[in-house]
Every structure is written in structure tokens, then in C-alpha cells.
Amino acid sequence: MMKRNLMVTVCCALILCALLGCQLARENAGTNSYEDRLIGIFITTEYLDLFDFEGYLSDNHTSFRGGEITMSGNTQPYQGRLYATQVTKTLTNEETSDTIETEEYVFEGIEGISYFSPTVPATVEHESYVTTMSDGAISDGHISINVGDDRNSRTMEGTLYVTPSVMNPIYYFNPVYQSADGIVYLVSGGGISTSGIDSEGAVMSQTLDAVYTVTENGKTKANSISVRISISVMFVPKKISILQMSADNTLISRAEYEPDAMPGIFAPETDTAYLIVETHKRDETRSLKISREIYDRGAENIETFFARADGICVKHWTRII
């Protein structure tokens, strides 16, 4: 197992509080109130400059003194938005060839990693439902939804496994919101630096939190969301070995695979009691590093990683049959 020898929690200091949706919605007695809700994040390696600086200058030029520009007051009206496009995609089950249509939200023309959970509005064909836009780069993703009489809460967690050799110096966490009419958009957010972090197992994390309250028919209810993404350093997997072992710990067979060519299914031999899965890597000094995982006969999947060209290590599942 990977030893995580460093944990650094990075606060979202670079993101303006006005953009995080952290303020409580005003209670509106006798009516339903709604403000745009935080639904997740969109991670980029480039800063998204969406601020309308020209508009801010035009509206506030009388307050400038001596050629110095000091941002003050409410800047939220000048914060630009990047809207997502709703598209319909058809997914095919590789085993049964059955197809299903799903709705996705895409930020066209922008490279990034999606991890947000929008509500797809109802149509004549289906009722509204909650879905998740999760890029393959997000590993160990977990979403929990709790519904109560006085509070609803949603928690989203996930991890980016990045390789030191092509690690980006800064990852920007851009908050994604959804309006009452179903429109999804993002605003530019702050980032965390990975400079100087090159030890496998080092972890950095960033969390976005928001709480909203509404009053419906005289009763107040809170809705909260917490989105936490960790960035964990992983050396590039070079080879995967699967060792089949007998009950008396004798090696039955050994198979080796390229990390990005792991099979979708794996059938152990009849006499196999357990599997040892080795991941071969090279550390920063080019020394061989091998990590091992043991899977017994009750295991359903083998979990391994392969590195993409962008330096993200993606988790792959091999089903054990």
C-alpha cells in the first residue's frame, strides 16, 4: 500500500468569498427562495481569466488615486461566467451491447477535469434527476447524499494521482454552479501549487464548502455541499505482474502486462487461493520500486493504475471471474 508521508491542507484563500456561494440565502417567509448552488468543481492547469476588468475600471474610475488601482467593494457583478453546454450522449454496455442515453454538461473549448453533480431538468420523456460529471482522472470518487427534516447535505470527494515528471506547477479549482432554471456555469477559482512536491504518497487537498437556507411554508431548511479533491503523487507505473498463489503459498503462474493494457477480466486457475498484484515503478533516482496488493478468492476486482500523457495516473478495474 502507498505510504502517504505528507498531508498539506490548502485553504481556498485565492477564491473570493463572494464567488464561493458561502453566504446564507436570505430567508423569504411564505415563499420559496433559491440562489445559484455550488455543485462541484472544474480543474484546470491554466487560470481562467473571466473577470470583467474593463467594466470594473469604467464603473469605478473616480475612486482611483495616483495611478494606483485598489480593488474594493462588491466585485461580484464583474465576475464572468463560463456556461456549460448540455449534450446527449449514448453509452453502450460492452458485454450486452445495450445502449442508454445520458445528459452531460460540457465546457466546450476548455481543457479540464470535471467533477460536479448537476440536476438534469425534467422533460416530457423523463423526470428531473441528479447525475455526476466525473472525468476518468478522478480516482476514489465518492459522493454521499443525506436527506433530513431540517438539513440536506451532499459530500463529494476524489483524488488526482499525478506523476512528478510531468506534474503541473498549479492546479486551479474553478467552482461550478447551477441556477434554478438548470443552467450550469463556472467561475474562475484559485489554485494550489505542487512545486517541490515529488515524493510518492505526498498529498495536498482543497475543499469548497457552501451552505444555503430556504424557508418554505414557514419552515427553514439548510442545504449544504462540500467538495474535497486531493492531489497525490504517484511514480509512473511501468509494469503490472499478477502472481497466482496456491493455499500452501506456492507460485502457480505469473503474468505480466503493460499498465495501459491490463485485461478487462481475469480468470484465476482452479487451484489459485489468492493473487499477488505487483506494480513496478521507478522513483526519482530511477531505482526500482515495487508495491504489492493481495486479493483473495472473494475479491471482485483488481485495481491498478496507468499514466496518461498529461501525467495523471488513472485507475483501471479488472473484474475477477
Which residue, 193, 208, 233, sits at the end of a domain?
A: 233
What's the domain range around 170? 6-65+75-233
Residue 11 has pLDDT above 60, yes or no: no
Same domain, yes or no: 162 and 91? yes
For residues 224 and 254, state if they share a domain: no
User: What mean pLDDT comes out for the span 196-210?
Assistant: 87
- Mean of pLDDT values over 263-285: 94
Would 85 be classed as within a structural domain?
yes
Task: State whether 265 and 194 are in the same domain.
Answer: no
Nine cell digits for residue 45: 492547469
Q: Is residue 70 part of a domain?
A: no
DSSP conformation letters of 257-273: E-GGG--SEE---TT--
* Mean pLDDT value across residues 268-283: 96
Specify whether 139 is located in the same domain as 190.
Answer: yes
Residues 209 and 282 in one domain: no
Residues 162 and 263 in one domain: no
| Radius of gyration over every alpha carbon of the chain, rounded to an integer in angstroms | 24
133 and 80 together in one domain? yes
Q: 53-67, 151-165, 214-228: which has the highest mean pLDDT?
A: 151-165
Residue 266 placed within a domain:
yes
**Span 154-166, average pLDDT:** 91
In a domain, 156, yes or no: yes
Cβ atoms of 44 and 170 within 8 Å: the answer is: no
Q: What pLDDT, on a 0 to 100 scale, did the predictor assign at position 8?
A: 33
Q: Is residue 25 in a domain?
A: yes
Are 292 and 279 in the same domain? yes
Is the predicted pLDDT of residue 66 greater than 60, yes or no? no
Are 218 and 29 in contact, with CB atoms under 8 Å apart? Answer: yes
175 and 301 housed in the same domain:
no
**103 grid coordinates:** 445528459
| pLDDT, tens digit (0-9, with 9 covering 90-100), for 230-263 | 999 999 999 999 999 999 999 999 999 999 999 9
Phi, psi of 47 (to 5 degrees): -70, 130
User: Which of 183, 205, 233 marks a domain boundary?
Assistant: 233
202 or 159, which is more confident: 159
Q: Can you give the pLDDT at residue 116?
A: 96
pLDDT value of residue 231: 92
Domain presence at residue 195: yes
Return the percentage of the chain with pLDDT > 90, whole number: 52
Q: Would you say residue 293 has pLDDT above 90? A: yes
Is residue 95 assigned to a domain? yes
Query: What are the tens digits of pLDDT across the range 165-182?
Result: 777 778 999 999 999 889
Domain shared by 206 and 289, yes or no: no
Q: Are residues 94 and 153 in the same domain?
A: yes
Dihedral (C-alpha) 193, 195, 199, 200: value to the nearest 10 degrees?
A: 40
Residue 21 has pLDDT above 80, yes or no: no
- Binning pLDDT at 50, 70 and 90, where does residue 19 land? very low
Q: Are residues 225 and 281 in the same domain?
A: no
Domain end point (choices 233, 261, 280): 233
Give how many domains the chain has, as a whole number. Answer: 2
Q: What is the mean pLDDT of residues 184-188?
A: 95
- Mean pLDDT computed over every residue of the chain: 83
Which pLDDT does position 288 carry in this prediction? 94
Residue 1 lies in a domain: no
